[in-house]
Structure 1
Amino acid sequence: MSRTAAWAVDGARFVLQRLVLRPLVRSVVSVEVEGAERVRDLPTPFVVVANHSSHLDAPLVLGALPPRVSQRLAVAAAADYFFDARWRARITGLVFNAFPVDRGGTRGSHRGLAAQLLDEGVPLLLFPEGTRSRDGSMAPFKVGAAALAVTRGVPVVPVALVGAYAAMPRGRSWPLPGRPPVKVVVGEPLHPREGENARALTQRVALAVERLVLGQDEADGEGEGGPGVVAVVETEGRRAADPAEASLPAEDDASTTPGPGRDEGRPGAGAS
């Protein structure tokens, strides 16, 4: 892509995210944001991770972060759904700056793209639970996001989405009426420690997100997790070929970077 074309795409993405998607989301839910200043001056790249309970999640995160970050933030999307048709790939790529990740054990042409993006200075958004919550509670975090952070030496930014499940629970194609309240809390960046492996960092990140969800003080990164944090797990039955793949849904849920009105199994459905 030429420099002029890249500027045009960046400009279009800014308009779509800040002047279309963000106002749309805030017209259907009442959004409160805390801690966005924690990433305002954070050098890129980094990995943003959040709990995943609703199709509102990716738009909420993008709308809460400073424009300098959200405009470049790349969101992992399932290649077999979001990039299976040219029109869908273009829309998803333009609005969410999405990048394809191969799922289901495949070793396709997109392998290693998440690491490549980090190497190029692009921040990422991943949902380590792999799929949306079925009841609003946090599921175990998979190690993909932390593995990228450890191997690339970049920080992880924990983000808590509070109230998103109540506003738009699984199975709904639009948020509940009455602009239900939703809160986006951005935590302090967590840097990989000397000699720390992906599993240990994943546990720290899961604890940080949980404490932000519960409204508690920032996690100190110690201990094995508080109430609700389940043991960290790998992808079932195998280790992902691509670390980003370990943060994508299982094959029975085709949902990654959706916005309001999108549901799985129909045109317009997304995956996180």
Structure 2
Amino acid sequence: MTSRTTGPVVGVLARRGLAWARRSPTTRLRRALQAGVVRPLLVSQVQTDVGGLEELPPDHRPVLLVANHASHLDIPLLLESLPEPYRERTGVAVIPGTALNSLVKTIASSVVFNTVPLRGDVCRDLLRTGWSVLVFGEPSRSRDGFVGEFTTDAAQVAIERQVPVIPVGIRGSFAAMPRGRNRPVLGWPGGGRFGPAGRTRPRVSVRFGSALQPEPGETAAGFTARINRAVKDLIVEDTTTWWQSLRHPEAVAPAPPAGSWRRIWEQSQSAEPGGQARKRRIWS
């Protein structure tokens, strides 16, 4: 099939929301691929430190997961961090033209990660039918590892559907696999922290924050700003403590000037362990 003919096919698949990827036998195949390929590969290449899972509703109600985006690792890292009931019923909303820019990529990403077009109607349908949706706040991967401005897509859907937003802060994925690389850096097979010659697998932190609800009369722009702040606080929290991140979030981790070599250098360093556990949140 030529590129001239694949374009319309991809468009038809995207317009239908890739619903076939959420039906059996595709879901069974996805479960097998994630358990047999994705998970072992991640374990061999990076150390994943997950925190805040208690912030997810215990009844597994649909939520919008909104995270920062710095690496191709972000999707598998976040999905593998989720408890199984959420992992198996979460769609990953991506901008058409990225993971959905060819027939092969569309099918592969939909089968393995359940990607869907980042469109309001698709996200609303998923939430209405009991699926959660992962949305990356930034329109593309960060070029220097720092969190950029968020689009209002997730906030608009949350306001329309009145669903909770779970902010997610991902720290260390840029250092593990920055933009332009097709595999993680210094990854070595094996379950231990150290590989050959004493090299380590990069540490990546995935932190889930307290649920955010749109307030009465709140605009999408205003809600987006709150989500963006919550994600940044989670990243700062991983470097210090929850209490310090609340008191002085910018003083704890001030960002170097935009576009400077210091930004890229700082985010290229492995994310050292830090922070402390949160108290369990009780859902009503």
TM normalised by structure 1 equals 0.72
Aligned match of 1:217: 242
Q: Identity of paired residues, percent?
A: 36
Alpha-carbon RMSD: 2.9
1:192 aligns with 2:214: yes
Moved over 4 A (4+): 218-221, 225-230
Correspondence 1:1-272 to 2 at 5 A: 6-39=23-56, 41-101=58-118, 112-177=121-186, 178-215=200-237, 216-217=241-242, 226=250
The answer to whether the 8 Å contact 1:206/1:229 transfers is no
The answer to whether the 8 Å contact 1:161/1:185 transfers is yes
| SS of residue matched to 1:48 | strand
| SS of residue matched to 1:79 | coil
Please give the alpha-carbon distance, in whole angstroms, between the structure 2 residues aligned to 1:15 and 1:229: 42
Structure 2 residues not aligned, in runs of 5+: 1-17, 187-199, 256-284
- 1:3-30 per-residue CA deviation (whole Å, 9 max, x = no partner) reads 9x93322222112223321221121111
Please give the alpha-carbon distance, in whole angstroms, between the structure 1 residues aligned to 2:178 and 2:70: 7
Please give the alpha-carbon distance, in whole angstroms, between the structure 1 residues aligned to 2:154 and 2:245: 19
Please give the alpha-carbon distance, in whole angstroms, between the structure 1 residues aligned to 2:54 and 2:134: 17
Query: What amino acid does structure 2 have at the position aligned with 1:217?
Result: W
Q: How many residues align?
A: 219
Please give the alpha-carbon distance, in whole angstroms, between the structure 2 residues aligned to 1:206 and 1:219: 18
Please give the alpha-carbon distance, in whole angstroms, between the structure 2 residues aligned to 1:76 and 1:19: 24
| SS of residue matched to 1:112 | helix
Higher relative contact order (CA 8 A, sep 6+): 1
Deviates more, 1:86-95 or 1:120-129: 86-95
Please give the alpha-carbon distance, in whole angstroms, between the structure 1 residues aligned to 2:166 and 2:245: 14
Give, in angstroms, the shift of residue 54 of structure 1. Answer: 0.9
More helix by share: 2
Classify 1:157/1:134 alpha carbon distance in 2 versus 1 (closer, same or farther; 3 Å).
same
Structure 1 residues not aligned, in runs of 5+: 102-109, 231-272
Please give the alpha-carbon distance, in whole angstroms, between the structure 1 residues aligned to 2:175 and 2:54: 26
Classify 1:32/1:22 alpha carbon distance in 2 versus 1 (closer, same or farther; 3 Å).
same
TM normalised by structure 2 equals 0.69
Deviates more, 1:184-193 or 1:154-163: 184-193
